[in-house]
């Protein structure tokens, strides 16, 4: 039997809006079971996620190859829905991997990236879900491209609030236009953040990852805990806090030995969501025979 494994992802990393993404070790898995007259996908993700060919996983698979033979699929996901950890991208990438497993045709990594980006609308989550690690992605000449890089050695602590925030809702508060000077500054901060990440300059990362000008200022009202966690991070010497994807999850780069005091302080400020330590997934989406 084939098993497909796809990591969660944390996008933007502050000023890398719609471009930077990091694969993390929470997983969506698919088990490919017997052939069926119609597609059937078993899961316990709740009533809003369908069990037939309308499911995002199956729709994505059929986008790559519309002639796939229907199967029974068992899906398990550790990635919470609509929390800013790339659940929809993981579902899309899982569908593309499913098509790769079941189809007689061959698909290149570039084809997978192109179809996944088209389905998700931006490449920052699908690229790390596909390839693992830190990815720097863009769409140029209408083609998505991505560069895989290594992430500095630093702990990752996610705060996952106990409410959902759909990406489309969180994108609806963004402005249609930015003033020229604001855009220039936001671009230069993003460029310098990438340089700081690639040169392991954690002090500069800590400063720049909190200097986004593209999305966090507009989303702050939807995620009031971002400011609280950022300020607590400064007190305990964290290496930066950013809104993971479209939120509401907030990610803090912080040494593991500082996590307990950070969490204690956050609880004292009334934050009741889940704290979870994450690690970078280096492998990205994979399929294996079990």
Ligand X SMILES: Nc1ncnc2c1ncn2[C@@H]1O[C@H](COP(=O)(O)OP(=O)(O)O)[C@@H](O)[C@H]1O
Per-residue interface string for the shown chain with ligand X, residues 163-182, x marking contact by CB under 6 A: ---xx---------------
Question: For ligand LJ64HWYM, which stretch binds (CB under 6 A), given 50-58, 78-86, 130-138, 147-155?
Answer: 78-86
CA 1 to each of CA 36, 43, 242, 289: distance values in angstroms, whole numbers, following the listed order: 15, 18, 39, 6
Strand 134-140 versus strand 143-149 pairing type? antiparallel
Q: Which does 72 bind (CB under 5 to 8 A by kind): ligand LJ64HWYM, ligand X, none?
A: none
Rounded Cα gap, residues 31 and 83, in angstroms: 24
* Cβ 102 vs Cβ 36: under 8 Å: no
Among 5, 13, 15, 17, binds ligand LJ64HWYM (CB under 6 A): 17
Among 84, 161, 233, 284, binds ligand X (CB under 6 A): 84
Q: Which does 137 bind (CB under 5 to 8 A by kind): ligand LJ64HWYM, ligand X, none?
A: none
Question: For residue 5, what are its two tokens?
Answer: 């494994």
Strand 286-289 versus strand 2-11 pairing type? antiparallel
Strand 40-42 versus strand 156-160 pairing type? unpaired
**Binding site as annotated, residues:** 80-90
* Cβ 117 vs Cβ 19: under 8 Å: no
Among 21, 86, 248, 284, binds ligand X (CB under 6 A): 86
Residue 257 CB, shortest distance to ligand X, in Å, is: 30
Nearer to ligand X, 73 or 202 (CB): 73
Strand ranges inside 70-217, DSSP E:
71-77, 134-140, 143-149, 156-160
Residue 97 CB, shortest distance to ligand X, in Å, is: 13
Nearer to ligand X, 73 or 259 (CB): 73
* Cβ 19 vs Cβ 7: under 8 Å: no
Rounded Cα gap, residues 247 and 127, in angstroms: 18
Question: For ligand X, which stretch binds (CB under 6 A), given 77-85, 103-111, 126-134, 276-284?
Answer: 77-85
Residue 204: count of CB within 10 angstroms of its CB: 17
Rounded Cα gap, residues 21 and 133, in angstroms: 8
Per-residue interface string for the shown chain with ligand LJ64HWYM, residues 171-200, x marking contact by CB under 6 A: x-----------------------------
Q: Which does 215 bind (CB under 5 to 8 A by kind): ligand LJ64HWYM, ligand X, none?
A: ligand LJ64HWYM
Residue 11 CB, shortest distance to ligand X, in Å, is: 8
- Angle of the 259-268 helix axis to the 225-236 helix axis, nearest 10: 140
Among 134, 156, 246, 251, binds ligand LJ64HWYM (CB under 6 A): 246
Interacting positions 15-44 with ligand X (CB under 6 A): 28
Greatest Cα-to-Cα distance within the chain, rounded to the nearest angstrom: 59
161 binds ligand X (CB under 6 A): no
Q: Which does 60 bind (CB under 5 to 8 A by kind): ligand LJ64HWYM, ligand X, none?
A: none
Q: Which residues bind ligand LJ64HWYM (CB under 6 A)?
A: 11-12, 17-18, 84-86, 88, 122, 124-125, 167, 170-171, 215, 245-246
């Amino acid at each position: 039997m084939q098993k497909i494994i796809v990591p969660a992802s944390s996008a933007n990393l502050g000023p890398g809006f719609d471009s930077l993404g990091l694969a993390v070790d929470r997983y969506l898995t698919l088990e490919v079971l017997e052939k069926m007259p119609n597609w059937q996908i078993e899961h316990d993700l709740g009533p809003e996620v369908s069990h037939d060919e309308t499911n995002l996983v199956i729709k994505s698979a059929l986008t790559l190859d519309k002639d796939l033979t229907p199967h029974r699929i068992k899906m398990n996901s550790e990635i919470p829905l609509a929390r800013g950890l790339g659940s929809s991208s993981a579902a899309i990438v899982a569908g593309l991997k499913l098509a790769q497993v079941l189809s007689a045709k061959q698909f290149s990594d570039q084809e997978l990236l192109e179809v996944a980006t088209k389905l998700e609308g931006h490449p920052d989550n699908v690229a790390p879900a596909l390839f693992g690690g830190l990815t720097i992605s863009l769409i140029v000449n209408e083609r998505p491209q991505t560069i895989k890089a290594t992430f500095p050695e630093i702990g990752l602590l996610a705060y996952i609030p106990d409410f959902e925030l759909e990406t489309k809702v969180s994108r609806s508060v963004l402005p249609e236009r930015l003033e020229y000077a604001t855009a220039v500054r936001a671009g230069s901060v993003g460029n310098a953040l990438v340089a700081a990440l690639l040169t392991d300059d954690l002090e500069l990362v800590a400063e720049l990852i909190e200097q986004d000008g593209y999305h966090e200022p507009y989303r702050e009202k939807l995620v009031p805990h971002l400011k609280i966690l950022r300020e607590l991070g400064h007190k305990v010497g964290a290496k930066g806090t950013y809104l993971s994807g479209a939120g509401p999850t907030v990610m803090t780069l912080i040494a593991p030995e500082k996590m307990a005091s950070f969490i204690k302080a956050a609880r004292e400020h009334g934050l009741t969501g889940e704290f979870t330590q994450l690690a970078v997934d280096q492998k990205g989406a994979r399929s294996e025979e079990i």
